[in-house]
Structure 1
Amino acid sequence: MPKSLLLLLPLAALVGIGFFAFHQYAAPDPLAGIAHANGRLEFARMDVASLYAGRVEEITVSEGQFVEAGTVLARISSQTAEAQLSEAQAGKAQLEQTVRRAQAQIEAQRQQLRTAQMEADNARQLFRDNLISQAELNTRLAQRDAARAAVQAAEAARNEAQAGVGQARAKMAQVSSVIGDLSVRAPQAGRVEYRLAEPGNVLPAGGKVVSLLNLNDASISLFLPAPTVNQIPLGSEARIKMDGLDAVFPAKVTYIASEAQFTPKFVETAEERTKLMFRVKLQIPADVAAKYQGYLKGGMTATGFVRTDSKLAWPANLQTRLPQ
């Protein structure tokens, strides 16, 4: 091989290395001004509990099942509440019978009062005509007053019984409400994550029955260093890419931790996990999460992107692109 060619080979190698280095380091970074980190998709979780103590009679849902708001999740039996309802019903029936008897007594006493009033009026006329004595008139007036008092007593007894009926009805409504609350219902639509109780379990008041995921409340948490977090305003636009899903979801920064913490085990590298970082929550809009809930699953690994320069345009590969 000619010496001139041998001299050109190292030169060509240097040119190639220089060309590679130029494109590797001099070319603009497509993610310049954009912080990114990995995380896992999470849904807001709600533990649905029983208001009252009792034995679990039935769990009506399965783990992973989607439920609408108001769906019965479990039924709790309570012999105490059922006994109280039966007692209130019996008391109400008895008091209603007392009211009917009192009303009949009032009618009878009113009739006697009318008769006594007529006799008292006649006695006054007879007394004016000097046909009866003062003592006889006083007797007739006393009989009228006694009849009037009897009517008032009967009315008081009826009113007391009616008040008792009202109290019994209120007690029945209260106990019926308790029994209604023994059917534990979903406060919102969502997916059952775990059954936290099974038939036969005895729960205290506030005992948890199932955990429910709100599929409209989807987010991921990133862990970023302080210099980066300081450049991210709350409410900033963000993007989320799910691993294995050809889509870019819009998001917003809805929370930035005020204190640093060690990052969870699933975050990138052991070196990153030893650093104190700030948690940043990226929230997918509720309407988007609701529409694409079939694609979004709790625990999916994802990468979140947040601009540290709000004036910077999103690159083409981070433009919103939802599943088709």
Structure 2
Amino acid sequence: MPQELRKRLVRGLVVIAIVVAVALLGWTALRPDGLGDAIASGNGRIEATEIDIATQLSGRVEEILVDEGDFVEPDQVLARMNTRTLQAELSQAKAEALRARNALQTAHAMVAQSESNEASAEAVVQQRQAELTAARKRYERSNTLLQRNVISRQQVDDDRAAMQSAEAALAASRAQVSATQAAIVAARSQVIEAQSAIDAAEAGVARIQADLDDSQLRADRLARVQYRVAEPGEVLAAGGNVLNLIDLTDVYMTFFLPTSQAGRVALGDEVRLILDAVPAYVIPARVSFVASTAQFTPKTVETASEREKLMFRIRARIDPQLLRDHLEQVKTGLPGMAYLKLDADAEWPDFLKQNVLQVNVSS
């Protein structure tokens, strides 16, 4: 090979090497991983809180009103349990409550009757008191007249007997007053007992009604059905799962950062997410959890290099309103990257500023 050709070939290879080196340096500077110390990144996966819809009481599943993949709203009925036994118990409890209310009315009537009897007995006492006063006066007059030999002793004895009879009648009438007062106390006790029976019966009705309400399994938040764990006709024990839901108001990405970066993360820090499935969009989020203990941790950490192996779990939560605006696109399990500002004053790189999803204010 001529020497001139060899020189040209060498110069060409040098130029190619320089171009490749410049391109490599440019790609390294511009690629997402070249973020500097102010922004951390980590691989993660979209997750959501799972909710089990379970029965409070044992029983048979009557019907399930949703299918896997359906969206559900708060207070929506998802499934119903068989309630025929509860309905019979409710009817019985209502009958017991009605009987207790009737017993209360009877007890009040007994109180009124006993109070009326007491008033009559008090009137009799006053009458007997008046009769005793008259009889005593007659006896005293007769005894005076006897001293003067105006009347016979027989008359005096008759007046004394009449006075003693009046005293006995007064004592009897007073005993009748005491009896009626005791009857009033007993009747009032029956009122209290009847009222307690009403309270117990109404509590039983409320308990059974609560069980009936709980037999209609409802959603308590915006969610999506992930699994139907049971089917109509199955008999479940108390606490048996019927459905598994994904909470669409609590969707987040979990990722890991080393100790040197995790120590600079605070709750509420801004995070940007890019999913592998839709790399053209940037999803804003906020740090909602930072683990207090490290993972992937060696049993003993003695050197600085070993400490660098410590990884802390971080959770970035997506705004629930943003999720509501894009319900159809919310899917768990999608992998992606999380980017987190370690310095609040740092600027996001250009690829994290573009196509950032925004909350629809009008929704």
- The residue aligned with 2:185 is 152
Is 1:180–2:213 an aligned residue pair? yes
Would you say 1:88 and 2:121 are equivalent positions?
A: no
The one of 162, 166, 169 aligned to 1:136: 169
- Aligned to 2:35, which of 29, 32, 35? 32
Aligned to 1:303: 337
1:208 offset after TM fit, Å?
1.8
* Structure 1: distance between partners of 2:265 and 2:188: 77
Structure 2 counterpart of 1:290, from 312, 324, 328: 324
SS in 1 for 2:329: coil
- DSSP 3-state at the match of 1:48: strand
Q: TM-score, normalised by structure 2?
A: 0.75
Cα 1:184–1:20 change in 2 (3 A) is same
**Partners of 2:104 and 2:195 within 8 A in 1:** yes
Amino acid at match of 1:236: D
Shift of 1:127: 0.9
Which structure features the higher share of helix residues?
2
| Aligned-pair CA distance for 1:83 | 4.5
SS at match of 1:294: helix
Superposed displacement of residue 215, structure 1: 1.2
Equivalent pairs: percent with the same residue? 32
Q: Deviation of residue 278 (structure 1)?
A: 4.5
**In the TM superposition, what is the alpha-carbon distance from 1:140 to its structure 2 partner?**
2.2
Alpha carbons 2:277, 2:334 under 8 Å: kept: no
Specify whether residues 56 and 37 from structure 1 end up closer, same or farther in structure 2 by C-alpha distance, changes over 3 A only.
same
What's the C-alpha RMSD, in Å, of the aligned pairs?
3.0
Q: Specify the code of the residue in structure 1 equivalent to 2:29.
A: D
State whether structure 2 residue 294 is matched by structure 1 residue 259. Answer: yes
Max Rg structure: 2
Gaps of 5+ in 2: 136-161, 298-308, 359-363
The count of aligned residue pairs is: 312
Letter in structure 1 aligned against 2:193 = E
Is the CA contact (8 Å cut-off) linking 1:252 and 1:282 kept in structure 2?
A: yes
SS at match of 1:29: helix
The answer to which of 148-157 and 276-285 deviates more is 276-285
1:47 is aligned to: 52
| SS of alignment partner, residue 192 of structure 2 | helix
1:21 aligns with 2:21: yes
Alpha-carbon spacing, 1:100–1:225, altered in 2? closer, same or farther (3 Å): closer
Which range moved further: 2-11 or 298-307? 2-11
Question: How far has the Cα of 1:148 moved from its partner?
Answer: 3.0
- In 2, distance between residues paired with 1:296 and 1:199? 29
C-alpha change, 1:311 and 1:20, in structure 2 (3 Å) is: farther
TM-fit CA distance, 1:234? 5.2
Tell me: CA distance 1:27–1:303, structure 2 relative to 1, closer, same or farther (3 Å). Answer: closer
TM-score by length of 1: 0.83
TM-fit CA distance, 1:309: 5.5
The whole-number CA distance in structure 2 between the counterparts of 1:27 and 1:103 is 94
Q: What's 2:106 paired with? A: 101
Q: Which residue of 1 aligns with 2:12?
A: 12
Cα deviation, residue 223, structure 1: 4.0
SS for the counterpart of 1:32 is coil
How many Å apart are 1:23 and its aligned residue?
3.0
What is the alpha-carbon distance in structure 1 between the residues aligned to residue 111 and residue 342 of structure 2?
86
Unaligned 5+ runs, structure 1:
263-274
